[in-house]
Amino acid sequence: MQNRGQMEAYFSAFSFLLNPLYWAVLLAAVFLVGALGILPGIGGPSILAIILPFLIFNISDPVIGLTFLAAMAGLGNSLDSVPAVLLGIPSTGNQVTFLEGHQLAMQGKGAYTLGAIYAVSAIGGLMGALALLIAMPFLRPFMLAFSFPEIAAMALFGVLMVAALSRGTMLKGIIAGLFGILMGTVGTSTVAPAPRFDLGMLYLFDGLPLLPALIGIFALPEMIDLMMRNQPIAQPGSVSNQQVFAGARYGLRKWPMTIRQSIFGVFLGAVPGIGSAVVDWLAYALGVALAKDKSGFGKGRVDGVLFAESAQNAKEGGQIIPTLAFGVPGGTSWAIVLVAMTAYGVIPGLGMLDPDQHLNVTMSMVATLALGNLFMTLLAMGATGQMAKLTLIPYSQLAAVLVPLMFISAYQSNQSWGDIFLVFGSGALGLAMKWFGWPRPPLVLGFILGPIIEANLWPAVQIWGVLGILYRPVTLTLLVFGLGSALYLTRMMGRMSEVDAVSKAATGEVATPTASNIQRRLGLPLRFTWQNEVLFSLILLFVSIWALYETQSFNATQSRFLPTWLLVFLIPLQVLQIVRLSLGCGKEGQVMDLGMRTGTDLESTRRLGVVMSWIVAYIITVALIGMPWASIGFALVFGLFYFEGRGWQRLWALIPALLMALVIFGLFETVMYVEWPTQFITIGDSAN
């Protein structure tokens, strides 16, 4: 009888499904997330923060209010793959989708790729909801086993795996990963209240903001490259609804892989401090490591996208687990949900499983994840065929809108001119890496994980000591697994290079041997050869030497600990890379990044100068007349200048400017109350 009573209590916890208001709120959240997801740079946490006060003061039922917030938090990844694939604008959590998916869009497979993404995302979301339902009563001992050493080891494992995936450029990948961690130490230390590498600038006091840096390293170089080509992303006839459904069928056929990646995503999501960007790369690394055929990854392969996307949606179910069980938010969005729970009087812990307390809230979140993913998939499947037609528009017309939107979204990070300069500066770094064949993913992941590594490594050393850390079973397992995986991947990537060489020989595409290979085969001594890449490597080395010098001025030992030891390893590796380049043996291909589509010859350099002039002119115009009018003016002038039509057809070139004006005055100022940079000349009432 007691068991029967418990079952009845559990079933009664789903009574909210009979409430029409629940369905109305769920559908409203789905449509809102869908609309915001296709807008580059519109982050879920900021929207949640805006909505939070309205919900708390206007919706008294915690199930309904938290359903809306849970849908916003848990479904936020569903459509942000659209700008990453179709427009080449990644967010923090879909860099792999951008890396693989945007290249597929350029091959005319954008709609196909998105269809496959929606299928595996739906499965991943359902797996996340199921994991939440099953795991809550059993995961407390496991969660308690994860402390400072385990989180630090997980973060180091992530950097190591991504660097190992840089086939043919593993040394560059390791240098990039370590340099990214160094970038993550800029600003006030996470373990001591002491500023570092801030150049005396208040903007850098809290470190380099992630969003502007990410936009600069990844998005801006891709825009510049495509602006230099001025061609559609995909070719005519390559976009159709049939492709969307064909991609969905392919994604459904990959259900065993999707379930595996989803379980991994739930596991990562349940570990506090492991954010979306980390899940993205670790899931990708796991998928590549377990793939039988490793060719084509990093160059536009659907499976690479699916590895990450299935884990991304599933990780939301994982992130709810520590939020509901221990009151430790699994991510930024769930931290806002936790604030709402506190306001509603819903206390995390065992009460979330008690039918007499908050079991109905837990069940509503489970149902919201499951049903919301299904509704979002249906919405996306119906709309993607039309959205994918964006890839058929000449890129100059897209860039006329996307370049201003990119800077506008970056400025919202801190609402400082530093955001704009950081986009430009990190864009120069990303463009140089793209130009010279350096993998950018390890740099970005190292940058993201740097604060996580430091915040957990120093306390771990203080509490357990270096040797004591290695005696912890979970930490040791992660480190051994990470090293073993890196060695395995290195071996597999080496075999892939041999396969590529054979395939090129079979098709008559014989690569030109490097000078070092010729000299080595002839038994001649290696000689110094100058390459422009040497200058780039010397600049990175100079920055590292300066950073090592600066660390000696840090007063607190804990502030010096990570950057000092990091640079002790980084500087010799940089010297080794410069020596290899100088001897002509450091010029290899790469697997994990997009090279320059336009090439790196003299003509490409000239085109680069022209495009950079447009961007510099836009920034200067923003300073003079304000971002709203500068953005509209850029869209108008750039669109007209590069439009290839004649006569009345040139009126089509006005569309980017009209669209930009509609977005700025109809959305940003009227609805979102966006802040704008200060300016020297005031036009109208729109600029602050």
> Which range is least confidently modeled, 49-63, 137-151, 546-560, 636-650?
137-151
574-602: average pLDDT: 70
The DSSP-derived string for 420-437 is HHHHHHHHHHHHHHHHHT
Task: Select, from the ranges 114-123, 234-243, 438-447, 504-513, the one with the highest average predicted confidence (pLDDT).
Answer: 114-123
> Which range is least confidently modeled, 78-87, 137-146, 429-438, 499-508?
499-508
Share above pLDDT 70 across residues of the chain, in percent, rounded to a whole number: 74
CA nearest to 427, candidates 296, 615, 286: 615
Q: Pinpoint the alpha helices (H) of 329-394.
A: 332-344, 359-387
Could you give the 3-state DSSP secondary structure of residue 520?
A: helix
609-630: average pLDDT: 93
The average confidence (pLDDT) of the chain is 78
* Cβ-contact 174, 486 below 8 angstroms: no
- Burial pattern 115-153, b for ≥16 Cβ within 10 A else e, equals bbbbbbbbbbbbbbbbbbbebbeebbeebeebbbbbbbb
* Cβ-contact 404, 191 below 8 angstroms: no
401-414: average pLDDT: 84
* Cβ-contact 365, 132 below 8 angstroms: yes
* Cβ-contact 529, 584 below 8 angstroms: yes
Give the angle 500-501-503 at the CA atoms, nearest 5°.
Answer: 65
Quote the tokens at residue 208. Answer: 């380099």
Could you give the 3-state DSSP secondary structure of residue 484?
A: helix
Give the angle 547-550-552 at the CA atoms, nearest 5°.
Answer: 125
* CA atoms in the 13 A half-sphere facing the CB of 149: 21
566, pLDDT greater than 80: yes
- Alpha-carbon distance of 102 to 116, in angstroms, equals 14
CA nearest to 25, candidates 76, 57, 78, 72: 72
* Cβ-contact 273, 151 below 8 angstroms: yes
Between residues 523 and 71, which one has the greater pLDDT? 71
pLDDT digits (tens, 9 = 90+) for 267-280: 888 765 566 767 88
pLDDT category of residue 394 using cuts at 50, 70 and 90: confident
The DSSP-derived string for 27-86 is HHHHHHHHHHHTSTT--HHHHHHHHHHHHHHH---HHHHHHHHHHHHHSTTSSTHHIIII
Task: Select, from the ranges 80-84, 149-153, 307-311, 460-464, the one with the highest average predicted confidence (pLDDT).
Answer: 307-311
504, pLDDT greater than 50: no
